Structure 1
């Protein structure tokens, strides 16, 4: 009887905790009962014994406070025997030092590019395929492009982690400038031709103020391009950028800056183009990652909103690739199964709903959770749902051998900026980029 009473009390406490997580971060109680198999939440006796899990984050925006509230608390609500430690990477906490000292983390929080610099070089990767099968974990709950992209970036299609939240490129616009010119706001579903014409219409000088129609945060637009184009051929180990498809991509981007008076006054810098949008307030539209709104959401003088990024006419429903942050499971400490189960709790409907409400785009195929995006953030009321207007393009198959060694994106992005500054043509730019990437590949192989 006593044992049954203890079991009942524990069940009630656990049920209270989940309800709280689904509704308010500050609530003191918890959940609506053990998740069903349909919700994708496995369970295992392996979590009954006390275990300590360490997380190493390459994402500084995930602060200690956010970790405790959105990672540690939800995991401990389901698995009270789990103790979690959180380390934010930096000069004082390098993963190389942790590995060398025998303190390799159990989970690494980073992107796919971060996987190539913080997971693969230290042989920490762990393929989750067997654990997914063992626990019958339902991957269909998850946005498929986030999984496909990770498999394409991994050896032999392995799945080294599960996504935490995602991001993608959208179009921000300054409502005040459109109102001033009496022009209708941009819409989701525009083609690149339509967006370029709108940018030209909005580029003008009025009352001595030079207004630019559109700027581009080019780094993400190149890396996460809508055409799913690879920079290095996975078979030939050669640059694959001097192609007809890359010409199409860069002619489109260059077309924005070919608009008379739409170039920046100084040297082109993709990151600075986003800053100019909110600091100078003379740019009508900027195409940038959705997370970019964090730079200006506290600016009360900027009257902004967002729509889906333009698409190519022959691919009207294909947006940019998802820029996803993953929980990569480490093989270092023989705690991969416990780490996996902890992560699946963080992918529960309850935790993803909380994340979505706070403005972190969810990774679940759940329209209710997606619709809640940002509704409890400082920017409540903005059109965040447009992030899911287009399908995410899939990351192309990567050259897993060279991707960690050659930063082809950096080379290509610099060549794009140089082209905008100098006025050279796309063919010349791509030929130069190809030469420089191949040179970097040769140097990497020689080492």
Structure 2
């Protein structure tokens, strides 16, 4: 999503205490309820994000309903809007700001947790607070006690964005080409794109301009950035990268004239009306309403690979974590549970924020109160989401390197084998640099 968009019911431990003799104080009125002290003792929970937004937005989405449910707790939202994410993290660490919960787009979240020392394994805390891990979309199984981080749980998914194809219906009508549809293969999609790429009346129209950013972040083949359990880049050793580069990048480049994509901007040209199909995310129907409102458009699911049928992209995810320095970790976990509860997820889902829970009734609410409620929101769940690839503190940096070499293949300045080799060389150097910065080692 181009900018930040704005949670299992609480489980109170109730014990029935029988009035009895033997030194105990009798109670003529019968058994008493002992309310869980963690929800009765006042606590301030400080929530930090580098993603921006306002306290008003956060309270609308999460805080107001949490305060109503837990009047003795206070959720305090803080953020930092100055500079880039690296500067924000440096500043937060230097200031020693007390934070109990942090949330951010994954990749940046792991960097904060492991490179900057906020990481806390929530496995036992989740058990203590009876968190039902089976509630979440199966895509997230690795980070919720699965393969990720040595089986530890360092964050929960909070909200999702799924890459989709947005298409300009007016351009398809203009050239008499049938609209694209859910369930297309990449080969079928490229055939359609060729028919739409043309010069008409001196205006150059593109059938499709790829977004390597979303292709890598939503990698449908679920290739890890590093070999599991190591700090070794996968880019030139995992053969799935060759499939990825060929089918999603080189084949797109081969569907047009050599060098065609040089200087082209997928986002701008779509809104200008000269690019028929663009990869955006579901959340753009919130964040890009102004640009989309005058357009005749709809959305479809991303095409799939014949080698990986029925599997769509990974969800681009915002994660949330209890920090190592949280003063009241039980209170922080109650807030986290609230944020990912069906009730809160349902309200966000209605507005067009993709839920991270697998509850079908929640999923059916997607977009029902969005301005674009008549669009094809079902495209989000048309295919099974690819397994969410867990990452460590190096992911943001290495993914940027991999994406740059994907661009080189797309623009025709490099062949696949050369790009993979050079990406590996650059990634190895970056790994050695980052090893000196990471203060909380983790299993990648």
Q: Among residues 210, 218, 233, which one is paired with 1:239 in the alignment?
A: 233
Say whether residues 1:88 and 2:84 are aligned partners: no
SS in 1 for 2:110: helix
Tell me, yes or no, if the aligned pair for 1:170 and 1:289 is still in contact at 8 Å. Answer: yes
Structure 2 gap ranges (5+): 1-6, 13-35, 438-444
> Which of 46, 58, 62 is matched with 1:71 structurally?
62
Q: TM-score, normalised by structure 2?
A: 0.83
Q: Identify the residue that residue 23 of structure 1 maps to in structure 2.
A: none
Whether the 8 Å contact between 1:161 and 1:329 is mirrored in structure 2 is yes
Match of 2:324 in 1: 331
Partner of 1:304: 297
User: In 1, are the aligned partners of 2:142 and 2:148 still within 8 Å (CA)?
Assistant: no
For the pair 1:411 / 2:380, whether they are aligned, the reply is no
CA shift digits 1:390-439 (9 cap, x unpaired)? 111113454x4xx4387111111111222333443211211211121122
Contact 2:144 2:153 in 1 (8 A): yes
- Partners in 2 of 1:332 and 1:197 — Cα distance? 54
Aligned counterparts of 1:80 and 1:256: Cα–Cα separation in 2:
55
- Describe the superposition over 1:233-273 as per-residue Cα deviations: whole angstroms up to 9, x where unpaired: 234533221243211111122211222359656436xxx32
Work out whether residues 146 and 324 of structure 1, in 8 Å CA contact, stay in contact via their aligned partners in 2.
no
Distance 1:59 1:443, change over 3 A: closer
C-alpha contact (below 8 Å) 2:209/2:261 kept by paired residues: no
Per residue, is there more helix in 1 or in 2? 1
1:263–1:165 CA distance, 2 compared to 1 (3 A):
farther
The residue aligned with 2:202 is: 208
State the Cα deviation string for residues 153-212 of structure 1 (Å, max 9, x = none): 853121122222111211111111111122221111111111111111211222222111
Give SS of 1:288's match: strand
After superposition, residues 123-202 of structure 1 pair within 5 angstroms as 123-149=117-143, 154-202=148-196
Q: Decide whether the 8 Å contact of 1:257 with 1:420 is kept in 2.
A: yes
Quick check: 378-387 or 143-152, which moved more? Answer: 143-152
Segments of 5+ residues of structure 1 without an aligned counterpart are 1-34
Residue of structure 1 in register with 2:3 after alignment: none
Residue aligned with 1:411, SS:
helix
After superposition, the C-alpha distances for 1:58-96 in whole angstroms (9 at most, x for unaligned) are 222x43221121111011111011112111123389444
User: How far off its partner does 1:102 sit?
Assistant: 4.1
With over 3 angstroms needed to count, the CA separation of the structure-2 counterparts of 1:84 and 1:165, relative to structure 1, is same
- Relative to 1, partners in 2 of residues 1:244 and 1:405: Cα closer, same or farther, differing over 3 Å? closer
How many pairs align? 402
The residue aligned with 2:284 is 292
The separation in 2 between residues aligned to 1:303 and 1:405, in whole angstroms, is 37
CA RMSD of aligned residues (A): 2.5
